[in-house]
Chains A and B, each alone.
Chain A
Amino acid sequence: MPTDSAVRALADVPREPGAAKPDPIVVADDVVRRFGGMTAVDVQHVEIQRGAITALIGPNGAGKTTFFNLLTGFDKPSSGTWTFEGRSLHGLPAARVARKGMVRTFQLTKALSRMTVIENMRLGAGSQPGENLFTALVPPLWRAREREITEQAEELLVRFKLDHHRDSFAGSLSGGQRKLLEMARALMSKPTMVMLDEPMAGVNPALTQSLLGHIQALRDDGMTVLFVEHDMHMVRHISDWVIVMAEGRIVAEGPPETVMQDPAVVDAYLGAHHDTDLGDDALLSDDVAEQLEAEVQAEEEKR
């Protein structure tokens, strides 16, 4: 459930594309990306509220991933500018963007298969003296930091229920577990903002439920979360604000309860024929989720 502070902060924001936020962490203007003749992204103005969970939704091919790539420096825009915490990120390489505190995950999971889970996690941590070629040769110079990040990694692994797999190769994990590993790894650098591209695709409902809890906890610690998701129920469940993209543009914004009813959104998803309620979330009331969790546990015990 959205916490009150974030909801309160966003209460007065107009429900329209490109709405100004009281405390934006990301501000993007006129970001355009063309592939040949096709315009994949054409965002005139968008702001992301600090300390809130913002969902970016839209039909397949809407340009969500491309927009992520642009913001995080993995792709170069045809034109446009954007700032993160007031500073322009335009033209910054992906690694620098990540070091500034904006860390992303990928839609197609990028677990480092032939490295162990714990090594994956350690790689996520920032400011490691041992990552310098010369200090690397003198272990005493980096042992302390190594111990520190190993501890941090183990904590996260417990939280993401991956601690049993600590020393297995990441390639041996299931698809859902890899998603979790990727998310946990991204958190190793203690970012100010995480951008998750379909984090829950392929993760079982029970785990989804507990992860949603973690994401909310992150937000409550002051982290900003932007995520792409196709599962409307999940979107409704945890997001404080929803931005809807279609054909590269932002077509609607608003709190999750109301944005689904926006005719622009229904149009975007269904074209002309629309009489389904996209936001039917009867399924995702907490007791249904609990029931699901119980079922999954029962199944696991049977094995």
Chain B
Amino acid sequence: MDWTNLLVNVAGEIIAPTTAAYALAAIGLNIHFGLTGLLNMGQAGFLLLGAYGFAIATIAGWPLWAAVLAAILAAVVFALILGIPTLKLRGDYLAIVTIAAAEIVRIVGRSTTLTDLTGASSGLRGNSYKHTFQDASPFPDGTWELGPFEYAINASNSWWIRIVGWGVVALACLLIWLLMRSPWGRVLKGIREDEDAVRSLGKNVYAYKMQSLVLGGVIGAVAGIIYVLPRAVQPDAMGRSMTFFIWTILLLGGAATVFGPILGSMLFWAALMLIKLVMRGTVPETVMRSEQIEQFGWIIVGITLMLLVIFRPQGILGDKKELAINAH
């Protein structure tokens, strides 16, 4: 096995656009779950809506900023629709409704009725919507090498998307950092602990939950744009499993922390790549076919999620005393 190549691949994973997209999605979920205690099990729905909003608007000829705005708007509307019936309900209902709502987005998106708009289950091709983003790059075309990493500068899976993706992640971190230390964040934490108590102190709990849902959802939608820029919009790749990965990432890094989602995402994807590459190099085809190695990776993800939640619910960065998951 070629160890340098393996390490380069794993390290490449750490800065990959998808890692950034998942980190961003987990930051959004962190606002929901880590800060407010909302059990949003439909974060992938926000990503998918963001992706559709952006791609469809761009295909319709909208400029970059308007397409991003369309994605954000789609997330806001979805959050409102989702929030109105559910935010007054108990937490477990919210989990069920959000997962159902995300599924509805996917089912409608892949339905043949909307083929003209969403491309049904085959989705939308990347080349049909990524030009506005690539044209916005200030850099010249070509490829660029930094250490062992060589990517195109602007095209598709590029340095440009990496720069923008991680830039947005950094901005989101700053936002969370500011909010967590503010009285606004304090109200959210209070709601996470006991919303009736917060209500009894005169805070409009419903409005705060809605703000949290919208804000986290919008961040999710932006993550959706970053996620689909280097690939295609495929509704079936953005379903329940995506939501569960985002959860695993958040809990791995540590909910209610600023950098947890980033660390979680990097570790998650790097570890997964490492497992796969090592197994591909060591396990003979006859024992495990390559798609089985793939599946083996996901089995490990599932088991990691279980063990993590049981034995280290605060994740890597979380405060032991301030367990991110309800202890009562």
* A residues with CB within 8 A of B: 72, 74, 93-96, 98-99, 103-106, 110-115, 119, 122-124, 126, 128-133, 136-137, 139, 142, 146, 169, 182, 185-186, 188-189
Asked whether, in the complex, the Cβ of B186 is within 8 Å of the Cβ of A122, the reply is: yes
Asked whether, in the complex, the Cβ of A189 is within 8 Å of the Cβ of B201, the reply is: yes
Asked whether, in the complex, the Cβ of A128 is within 8 Å of the Cβ of B328, the reply is: no
Report the Cα distance A94→B207, complex, angstroms: 13
Query: Which of B69-77, B100-108, B120-128, B175-183 forms part of the interface with chain A?
Result: B175-183
B143 at the interface (CB under 8 A from A): no
A74-B196, A110-B194, A112-B193 as given contacts; A131 in contact with B201, CB under 8 Å: no
B289 at the interface (CB under 8 A from A): no
> What's the A-B contact tally at a CB cutoff of 8 Å?
106
From B200, B202, B205, B328, contact of A105 by CB (8 A)? B200
Asked whether, in the complex, the Cβ of A130 is within 8 Å of the Cβ of B182, the reply is: yes
B141 at the interface (CB under 8 A from A): no
Closest to B199 in A: A94
Question: Please, which residues of chain B bring their CB within 8 A of the CB of A133?
Answer: 179, 184, 211, 215
Asked whether, in the complex, the Cβ of A123 is within 8 Å of the Cβ of B198, the reply is: yes
Binding site secondary structure of chain B: helix
Question: Please, which residues of chain A bring their CB within 8 A of the CB of B182?
Answer: 130, 136-137, 139, 142
Report the Cα distance A93→B202, complex, angstroms: 9
Q: Mark B183-210 against chain A: 1 for CB-CB distance below 8 A, else 0.
A: 1111101101110111111111110000
8 A Cβ contacts from B203-243 to A: 203-206, 211, 215
Asked whether, in the complex, the Cβ of A122 is within 8 Å of the Cβ of B183, the reply is: yes
B150 at the interface (CB under 8 A from A): no
Asked whether, in the complex, the Cβ of A114 is within 8 Å of the Cβ of B322, the reply is: yes
Closest to A122 in B: B186
From B179, B181, B187, B322, contact of A123 by CB (8 A)? B187
Report the Cα distance A291→B322, complex, angstroms: 40
B321 at the interface (CB under 8 A from A): yes
Asked whether, in the complex, the Cβ of A131 is within 8 Å of the Cβ of B184, the reply is: yes
B15 at the interface (CB under 8 A from A): no
B117 at the interface (CB under 8 A from A): no
Report the Cα distance A182→B200, complex, angstroms: 11
From A103, A104, A113, A182, contact of B193 by CB (8 A)? A113
Distance in Å: Cβ of B193 to nearest Cβ of chain A: 4
Most chain B beta-carbon neighbours within 10 Å: one of A124, A133, A142, A182:
A133
The 9 closest A-B pairs by CB, nearest first: A130-B183, A98-B202, A136-B182, A136-B184, A110-B197, A112-B193, A99-B202, A94-B199, A110-B194
Q: Mark B12-35 against chain A: 1 for CB-CB distance below 8 A, else 0.
A: 000000000000000000000000
Report the Cα distance A145→B204, complex, angstroms: 20
B323 at the interface (CB under 8 A from A): yes
Asked whether, in the complex, the Cβ of A126 is within 8 Å of the Cβ of B193, the reply is: no
Asked whether, in the complex, the Cβ of A131 is within 8 Å of the Cβ of B183, the reply is: yes
Question: Please, which residues of chain B bring their CB within 8 A of the CB of A98?
Answer: 199-202
Question: Please, which residues of chain A bring their CB within 8 A of the CB of B215?
Answer: 133
From B179, B192, B196, B198, contact of A137 by CB (8 A)? B179
Question: Please, which residues of chain A bring their CB within 8 A of the CB of B201?
Answer: 98, 103, 123-124, 185-186, 188-189
Distance in Å: Cβ of B183 to nearest Cβ of chain A: 3
From A72, A114, A119, contact of B323 by CB (8 A)? A114
Report the Cα distance A112→B189, complex, angstroms: 9
A95-B205, A114-B193, A115-B190 as given contacts; A103 in contact with B200, CB under 8 Å: yes
Asked whether, in the complex, the Cβ of B200 is within 8 Å of the Cβ of A132, the reply is: no
Distance in Å: Cβ of A167 to nearest Cβ of chain B: 11
Report the Cα distance A131→B185, complex, angstroms: 8
Distance in Å: Cβ of B75 to nearest Cβ of chain A: 16
Report the Cα distance A277→B178, complex, angstroms: 60
